[in-house]
Amino acid sequence: MAMMEVKDLQVYYGVIQALKGISFEVNQGEIIALIGANGAGKTTTLHTITGLLPAKAGSIMYEGKDITKLPGYKLVSMGIAHVPEGRRVFAHLSVLQNLKMGAYTRKDKKEIDSTLEMIYKRFPRLEERKEQPAGTLSGGEQQMLAMGRALMSHPKLIVMDEPSMGLSPIYVNEIFDIIQNINADGTTVLLVEQNAKKALSIAHKAYVLETGKIVLSGDAKELMNNDQVKKAYLSE
């Protein structure tokens, strides 16, 4: 059984249909990439999965449970964390306060402290800047903070929306290395990313969205060599 199964998902913004019956699976331990042009429906898909948008039709099953109508805060305690597009850190709170916000569903202080230590090992810069307001960090550091905050909830599945957006090439490489490390430590990753080349290079499977429909899917390395994908998304 897949960890998450999205079936015939349909989502509307008013009268405009943004998702036209998409279906895909996320298996435990995988990195799944959703790629496509702006307006293809990638962010809409993630927002519907994480309870920020209502589905008009279709279903989202997670670990055998129907989560289609559940609000986002309930999903966090079920093991789903969301790293939103644009990072969305709490600018006036310190780095440490932002990280602790990610653990709000957890009660065991010792476990929270040990997770915090793990986050600091993974992101040494966050420890160096733990008392700084999050708004004073660079874009790359804010992205690390958004990822660290999501990991504080100890998720089984982490959903990431455009983690490389607006970052310098050095930070882009670092962020993708971190995503691979998170996955290697046992967390399943659902990744939306406009940098198709980078996304396909680390993903196990990928789905290509165009105007609210999945038009291609398969092994990420195979899609990387697909002429249609090369022409549309990988040309420099």
pLDDT tens per residue across span 135-180: 888 887 888 889 899 988 889 999 999 888 877 788 888 889 889 9
Using N-to-C axis directions, what is the helix angle for 109-122 and 139-151, rounded to 10°? Answer: 150
pLDDT of residue 5: 95
Question: CA torsion angle for 53, 55, 58, 62 (degrees, to 10)?
Answer: 30
Find the length of the chain: 236
Q: Do 60 and 48 form a contact (C-beta atoms < 8 A)?
A: yes
Residue in this structure with the two tokens 């195979």, named with its chain if needed: 222
Contact 61, 3 (CB under 8 A): no
Q: What pLDDT does residue 104 have?
A: 73
Closest-CA residue to 181 (of 122, 99, 103): 122
pTM of the model: 0.88
Work out the pLDDT band at 4, boundaries 50, 70, 90.
very high
What is the distance between the terminal CA atoms of the chain, rounded to a whole angstrom?
A: 38
Cα separation, 54 vs 45, in Å, equals 10
Rg (CA), the chain: 17
Hey, how many other C-beta atoms are within 10 angstroms of the C-beta on 84? 19
Token digits for 53?
Answer: 């948008």
For the chain, domains (ranges, CATH) are 4-89+155-234 (3.40.50.300)
Q: How confident is the model at residue 236 (pLDDT cuts 50, 70, 90)?
A: low
Question: For 55-105, what is each residue's pLDDT tens digit?
Answer: 999 999 999 999 999 988 889 889 999 888 766 888 888 998 899 888 877
